[in-house]
Amino acid sequence: MNSNSAIVLFRDFDTPLVYSGSFESSPIVDFILANSVPTLINFSEDYIEPIFGQRKSAIFLFRSSSDSDKDFSKVFSEAASALKGEIIFVVSGVSEGIQQRLGEFIGVEESSLPTIRILDPANNMKKFSFPGKTESITVESISEFVKDFKSGSLQPFLKSQDIPEDNNEPVKVVVGKNFNEIVINNDNDVLIEFYAPWCGHCKKLAPIWDELAKDLKDVAGLTIAKMDSTANEVDGVDIRGYPTLKFYPKGQKGSPIDYDAGRELDDIKAWLKEKSEAVKAHGAGRTEEL
């Protein structure tokens, strides 16, 4: 291109931008992608693709609508301008529509507002919680939070329901906070269902899962469990569909086995008789079927 040529990005949400980098395809594409969304996004369905589809990390300020003029909201806006191009800045509520679904996915409720999270779609949708009080944020503290995220020094925020007070039914209820206790740090074989409450296949499996646990409740060293994966998360456990069934054998908890057989009661029992040492030991010397 000659010395009089220029690339200008026109946008319907902000003033035009003039590109000042080298005239090569890669930096030009990076420039367009970095500036294809507003400096500060008010989350809506229009921004699902730029964030989730393009797997761009984003920092979210979750707040109520009455907080839009609060000092922390103004500071967040200032940080968005100061850190433009480093990460996408987003504000959102959690009370209705797509914003409500976003809050449910990230694990933010009305009672926890205002709060700040970083979401990393490129890394199994990991989430990171701002360590300080949102009401006291500064541009510097937000900048440090983003810097720590990029350096990999932050621990992910994991959703978890409260540990149930009564967990004495044959199917043990697992949440994020007791996953290690029930599944990992014990000497039992564990077969666990990761489910979603709205999933039709999960609803069909539920009575079969209950019956399985009742039939096998006397097998020493075996746990039948379930976890609502829409409300609970475990670092290192990536659930991509529902229901997902995994078997954690005693002594090999770091290498769970994906259940890959039929979903009827007899199918699951037959699979366990092959895979579970606890079930094998229980059946040794017995003539009746489990």
Per residue in 135-194, pLDDT (tens digit) is: 999 999 999 999 999 999 999 999 999 999 999 999 999 999 999 999 999 999 999 999
Report if residue 82 sits inside a domain: yes
Mean pLDDT, residues 271-287 = 84
* Res 285: pLDDT: 46
Report if residue 165 sits inside a domain: no
Are 210 and 254 in the same domain? yes
* Res 238: pLDDT: 85
| 14-28, 38-52, 69-83, 173-187: least confident range | 14-28
Domain limits for position 195: 171-283
Are 176 and 279 in the same domain? yes
pTM over 0.75, yes/no: no
Report if residue 202 sits inside a domain: yes
Per residue in 250-271, pLDDT (tens digit) is: 988 888 999 999 999 999 999 9
The more confident residue out of 31 and 214 is 214
CA–CA distance, 224 with 7 (Å, rounded to integer) = 61
CB within 8 Å of 275: residues ≥ 6 apart: 189, 247, 249, 257
Are 46 and 140 in the same domain? yes
Helix (H) or strand (E) holding 113: none
Are 62 and 143 in the same domain? yes
Which two three-digit tokens encode residue 61? Answer: 């300020």
Percent of the chain predicted with pLDDT > 90: 75
Report if residue 143 sits inside a domain: yes
Q: Is 80 exceeded by the pLDDT of residue 9?
A: no
Q: Is 80 exceeded by the pLDDT of residue 83?
A: yes
Are 86 and 104 in the same domain? yes
Are 214 and 124 in the same domain? no
Are 176 and 277 in the same domain? yes
Q: pLDDT band at 87, cuts 50/70/90?
A: very high
Q: What are phi and psi of 190, to 5 degrees?
A: -130, 125
Report if residue 224 sits inside a domain: yes
Which two three-digit tokens encode residue 215? Answer: 């039939």
- How many domains in the chain? 3
* Res 290: pLDDT: 54
Kindly tell me the sign of the dihedral angle through the C-alpha atoms of 263, 264, 267, 272. positive
Are 13 and 42 in the same domain? no
Q: Give the domain CATH number at 65.
A: 3.40.30.10
Are 278 and 189 in the same domain? yes
Are 64 and 137 in the same domain? yes
Q: pLDDT band at 3, cuts 50/70/90?
A: low
Are 181 and 214 in the same domain? yes
CA–CA distance, 138 with 256 (Å, rounded to integer) = 44
Report if residue 158 sits inside a domain: no
Are 186 and 239 in the same domain? yes
CB within 8 Å of 178: residues ≥ 6 apart: 163
Q: Is 50 exceeded by the pLDDT of residue 287?
A: no
| 14-18, 34-38, 235-239, 275-279: least confident range | 14-18
